[in-house]
Amino acid sequence: MALLEVQNLSVGYNTRKGCLKAVERVSFVLEHAQSLGLVGESGCGKTTIGMALMGLLPPNGSVKNGRILLEGRNTLTMSEEDKRHFRWREMAMIFQAAMNALNPVQRVGNQIAEAILVHNPSLEKEAAKARVEELFDLVGIPRERITDYPHQYSGGMKQRAIIAMALACRPKVIIADEPTTALDVIVQHQILEEVRWLQQEFNIGIIFISHDISIVADMCHDIGVMYAGQMVEFGPWQAVFESPAHPYTKALLSSFPTLVGKKSDLTPIPGETPNLINPPEGCRFCDRCPEAQPACRTTRPEWVQIDETHRALCCKC
């Protein structure tokens, strides 16, 4: 059985101007100890997917349709009590902007211990303390910093503390939402290496959410490319990045500067993303797509299977 299966997930936000369709009919499967990358630009719905998986959508957001199966159990139909149990113990999240994810008036060690104690009420305080020390060793923060406050930490250490917190209850799935965006490259590299090692060590399935395609290409086995609330291409990273099928993936790749390989001209994607309150009837990318046909404007694109594992949402493929 797959570790996590998302079927036809749609999420909407109620706004004054109507329902904003932030995520529409997204499906993917994450296997045990695998990593999956969700890439796309701001506003494409990747963070919304993470929040929906955790059951942490803001009050005006709700899952309109679809199923989220964690080892076969639908998390959307769980009771609040079960959900609280499942959250953090089975699925944890590394939040975006780690700089602000820690409580500034609590010592870092206490915050992590709290996460452990809340989810394991029977645990002794001493045992929780020992577990926190163990976690600090794992993520590479010196033990003497356990009693520090977040402001005494550097950016990289805060990020490590957040990762320690995500690991606190030994979850099966971790959702890492832009885990290294605010960090310098050298620190980013160290943290990604750390995450890679922890994943192997504890068999964790990871969903990487990032706008930086070079990070997901390095870290993930499967890649889902998101555009305007839809997943437009899905497959193993070699397939998606080396022979992209969807015009958006191609455009995204050619607008991304790289360090290795031939230096080529960057081609920006013209235009802007569509309004998701009244999304276009046909393909959402057609206004910016160099390969668009008149039919793209009116007909909804269907998934096309390029090969067994690689698919794209485009009628031109």
Partner 1 sequence: MKTTDENKPILQIRNVSKIYRGKGNLFRSPGKDVVALNRISLDIFKGEIFGLVGESGSGKTTAGRLVVSLEETTSGRIFMENREVTGLKGRSLKAFRRKVQMIFQDPYQSLNPQRSVYDTVSEPLKIHRMGNASERKAKVKEILKAVGLSPPDDFLFRYPHRLSGGQRQRVAIARAMVLNPEFVIADEPTSMLDASISAQIFNILLAMRKDLGVTQMFITHSLAAARYICDRIAVIYRGNLMELGPAEAVIQNPRHPYTQALIDAVPKFGHAKEAKLYGTLLAKRREAGKDKGCIFYPVCAVADDAICPRKKPGLTPLDDGRMVACFREGSDPEQTSFLPHVSNKGV
Residues binding partner 1 (CB under 8 A): 41-42, 155, 184-186, 188-190, 192, 211-215, 217-218, 237-238, 241-242, 251-252, 255-261, 263, 266-269, 272
Beta carbon of residue 269, minimum distance to partner 1 (angstroms, whole number):
4
Residue 73 or residue 143: which is nearer to partner 1 going by CB? 143
- Complete edge-to-edge strand list for the sheet that includes strand 35-39: 91-94, 173-177, 205-210, 35-39, 222-227, 230-236, 311-313, 303-305
Beta carbon of residue 173, minimum distance to partner 1 (angstroms, whole number):
23
Residue 22 or residue 116: which is nearer to partner 1 going by CB? 22
Residue 15's region, left for phi above 0, alpha for psi from -120 to 50, else beta, is: beta
Beta carbon of residue 50, minimum distance to partner 1 (angstroms, whole number):
18
Rounded CA separation 143/137 (Å): 7
Residue 18 or residue 271: which is nearer to partner 1 going by CB? 271
**Nearest of 174, 147, 142 to residue 160 by alpha carbon:** 142
Residue 3 or residue 219: which is nearer to partner 1 going by CB? 219
Residue 197 or residue 256: which is nearer to partner 1 going by CB? 256
Beta carbon of residue 136, minimum distance to partner 1 (angstroms, whole number):
16
Residue 43's region, left for phi above 0, alpha for psi from -120 to 50, else beta, is: left
Rounded CA separation 89/80 (Å): 14
Cα distance from N-terminal residue to C-terminal residue, the chain: 30
Beta carbon of residue 188, minimum distance to partner 1 (angstroms, whole number):
7
